[in-house]
Chains A and B, each alone.
Chain A
Amino acid sequence: MVNRIIVGAHYGLKDWLAQRVTALVMLAYTVLFLVVWPRPMSYAGWKALFAQGWMRFATFLLIASVLIHAWIGVRNIWMDYVKHTGVRLTLQVATILWLTGCAGWAMQILWR
């Protein structure tokens, strides 16, 4: 009988999936944006677009997806190239804090 323990904390699969799901959200938003963006561009049209509830909702989903996607990608870069544990941990924490701050900033921009 073979008793292999090959499971870890599962975070690898979760991150892999999150990277794909957020990518699809961003692709969907790109299509949406190309359809709805005001032509010709003007402040009134731009402001009116982002005054719509669904546009704020969709844009917030976009930004949340960007932040999750960026976290996984940037963390992978730190894991691959930064060998020193302390430096890597510092960079990872700084990345999380920065992205979390960006989420707050995005909410403030959208729901003003």
Chain B
Amino acid sequence: MPDLTAKRRRPVWLNLSPLNLPVPGLVSIFHRISGLALFLGLVAFLYLLDLSLASESGYAQAGELLRHPIAKLLVIASIWALLHHMCAGIRHLFLDIDVGVSLHVARRSAFAVFVVSLALAASIAVRIW
């Protein structure tokens, strides 16, 4: 006789890791990661705005800081995070008003978020470098 009580054990824990995360899911998690990164980068943004508007020498100093290779990498990463967050956000606004909610359109727009934000970030990165 099988043990029927064993079947009812709660909570049920399902291991979801063997499932592939679809592109819209990837856009979603990157939306969150980029948002957190932008929150953390806010202090640098305000610091640079403060410095650049304080005085002529402050402006030059901010420019000097941004010319450092590590700063350039951080700026490029921030620009990509901002562009991804913005594109994913625009997609979200359209989904909110029921535009592009069918599965294949949502997948294509999710893919477009990655393509557009990476392409724009790359074109800006080339100019900064």
Chain A positions within 8 Å of B, measured between CB atoms, are 20, 23-24, 26-27, 30, 43, 46-47, 50, 66, 70, 73-74, 77, 102, 105-106, 109, 112
Q: Encode contact with A along B47-76: 1 for CB under 8 Å, 0 otherwise.
A: 001101110100110000000000000000
Q: Is the CB of B36 within 8 A of A46?
A: no
Q: Is the interface of B mostly helix, strand, loop or mixed?
A: helix
Q: Is the interface of A mostly helix, strand, loop or mixed?
A: helix
4 nearest CB pairs, A to B: A43-B59, A109-B50, A73-B35, A70-B39
Q: Is the CB of A46 within 8 A of B86?
A: no
**CB of A80 to closest CB in B, whole Å:** 9
Q: Which residues of A contact B96 (CB under 8 A)?
A: 20
Contact of B52 among A20, A23, A26, A46 (CB under 8 A): A46
Judge if B89 is at the interface, Cβ distance under 8 Å. Answer: yes
Contact A50 B53, CB 8 Å, known A20-B93, A23-B89:
yes
**CB of A65 to closest CB in B, whole Å:** 12
Q: Is the CB of A77 within 8 A of B46?
A: no
Supplied contacts A46-B52, A102-B46, 8 more A-B pairs, CB within 8 Å: A20-B96, A66-B42, A70-B35, A70-B42, A73-B35, A77-B32, A105-B46, A109-B50
